Structure 1
């Protein structure tokens, strides 16, 4: 069964504060550890807020000390002392909140991964919510498949699968099933997720086509045709094949579907000649001439 590799994790890191980028120690291709600094924003407003909260906390502490002495001398009521203590707790809470917001000015990697895109430059002015960089983790990889109903019922979580790719034709990668959707789509296909470690000796990239073998479910290599050769809808797909200089309309069944290709699970065999262009005026049993032969 044909599938496409996707990263274990991918995310776009954003800034939560407004200001100017004063530090940007990243380039495309850099691998950053979890927690590593990706960018730092100069936030004068938030720095001022922290300074103000620190002064407010100092004042609240002195007020509690003063009210405690006055209470012992019966110069203030117990309620006034309690109000001063509440004000101290509030000031401390406000300071912690402002410090947390200021810490957001240092934007850090949420997980270990590679920087694949950088959206800002040093000195850029940014607003809260602006994108800083995209980080991708390919230390382990995933494959999402749409498995036919009759086959989905034969699969179980943690089943082992074999993964092959034309990039490393002599290598078999081992994966396991980590998710089987409890609901199917309109075509009675069920989402199945495969996970496997990305080996260091034969590293794979996200977006690579792979062939996944579920033991008895997979027979031989998948047959793939261009999407442009399809006639009709995905629910009732057909293609024109050439037999003895004549176009024949044939119904097929498809498995995995990709932007430019589809996997054919039934209706075609290796070596069949399919028509990819000129489909608009073509009809069943139309004589054709193959240019170039």
Structure 2
């Protein structure tokens, strides 16, 4: 308890010290500004004329192609490999047999399961007749019924193992890697083949919050690969993440049809170009114009007699170092773009106006 009280006291002390330092700095800045104003001096700042500018939403994003399906096929049965029917690089179809496992032990298990089931069926009929005449109890009949159901399940499992002895491809694709040889003994879970489906590729890119709001699933995208710089590929947005990643960007997937030529490979680098209709001109100002950051929604404007006046604005979308202004500024006004840290409302300034600062 004593340690908690000490911790609380220390935290309060630190917060009080921070508040005092900030208050002192503010007082010193106000005093300096007041001296400058009293002596007729002016604070040097940079400023820019406010104008409406064309809004370009087009952007490009880089990423890597991923296979439509990339499957690592593993063994579901135990046994020795007797034949391999597919080579690395071979194109295979769904359901095609890739390898064979020695079926002898598997078939023996199936035969044993069939024999056990047949015996239990006979026993069940005998118990059922005895129950009707009072020869066995209900509990004994229920027990033989349970054994019969379990025997049926074991036979189904044995049949499945017989089928799995013929190792088949679950998808259409290309054998990218083979991990087994004839004579190798397999256990359940042994890696057999890596099968890659390149009939479609997915280009994985990211978009920031300003970009992603203009995207929707089904949009067409132009893609250029670095290995085919003179050729364009057509893609379609197939996925847009609902949540940003750790970098505050949104993962986006673009599907590209690759079935005709199969020129593109998984892992290749590419650039997606997003094009949008021309937008109406809007007011944009440099991001650095805001007092303390965009969220403050406050800027300094230059008024008559070189006076800096603080102005409340409504910020819209952010485009890199430019911020859209929805309300609060009119075309032709002058906004202060740097030096605001030395200003207070009503301070006299000497502005260096750069007409290109907000382009």
Q: TM-score, normalised by structure 2?
A: 0.55
Residue number in structure 2 paired with 1:164: 224
Q: CA deviation at 1:84?
A: 3.2
Question: Residue by residue, what CA displacement relative to the aligned partner does 1:32-73 show, whole Å, maximum 9, x if unpaired?
Answer: 111111222226554333222111111011112333444555
Q: 1:186 to 1:70 in 2, by over 3 A?
A: closer
Distance in 2 between residues matched to 1:40 and 1:80, nearest whole Å: 44
Of the three residues 117, 138, 145, the one matched with 2:205 is 145
Of the three residues 240, 254, 261, the one matched with 1:194 is 254
Distance in 2 between residues matched to 1:169 and 1:118, nearest whole Å: 33
Question: Residue by residue, what CA displacement relative to the aligned partner does 1:2-42 show, whole Å, maximum 9, x if unpaired?
Answer: 22211100111111222211121010111111111122222
Structure with greater helix percent? 2
Distance in 1 between residues matched to 2:164 and 2:112, nearest whole Å: 18
Q: CA deviation at 1:200?
A: 1.2
Which structure has the bigger radius of gyration? 2
- Secondary structure of the residue aligned to 2:242 is strand
Distance in 2 between residues matched to 1:125 and 1:202, nearest whole Å: 35
Of the three residues 8, 13, 16, the one matched with 2:76 is 16
Distance in 2 between residues matched to 1:135 and 1:201, nearest whole Å: 19
- Kept in 2, the 8 Å contact 1:19–1:44? The answer is no
- Secondary structure of the residue aligned to 1:184 is coil
- Kept in 2, the 8 Å contact 1:168–1:202? The answer is no
Query: Does residue 181 of structure 2 align to residue 113 of structure 1?
Result: no
Distance in 2 between residues matched to 1:155 and 1:61, nearest whole Å: 63
Query: Does residue 163 of structure 2 align to residue 103 of structure 1?
Result: yes
Residue number in structure 1 paired with 2:245: 185
Q: CA deviation at 1:114?
A: 0.5
Distance in 2 between residues matched to 1:70 and 1:202, nearest whole Å: 70
Distance in 2 between residues matched to 1:109 and 1:86, nearest whole Å: 36
Residue number in structure 2 paired with 1:131: 191
Alignment of 1:1-293 (within 5 A): 1-42=61-102, 44-71=104-131, 75-77=135-137, 79-201=139-261, 203-216=263-276
List alignment gaps of at least 5 residues for structure 2.
1-60, 278-319, 322-359
- Kept in 2, the 8 Å contact 1:22–1:41? The answer is yes
Q: 1:157 to 1:81 in 2, by over 3 A?
A: same
Distance in 2 between residues matched to 1:166 and 1:68, nearest whole Å: 76
Distance in 1 between residues matched to 2:262 and 2:124, nearest whole Å: 66
Q: CA deviation at 1:193?
A: 0.7
Question: Bigger shift: 28-37 or 149-158?
Answer: 149-158
Q: TM-score, normalised by structure 1?
A: 0.66
- Secondary structure of the residue aligned to 1:212 is strand
Number of positions where the alignment pairs a residue of Structure 1 with one of Structure 2: 219
Identify the structure with bigger relative contact order (alpha carbons < 8 Å, sequence gap 6+).
2
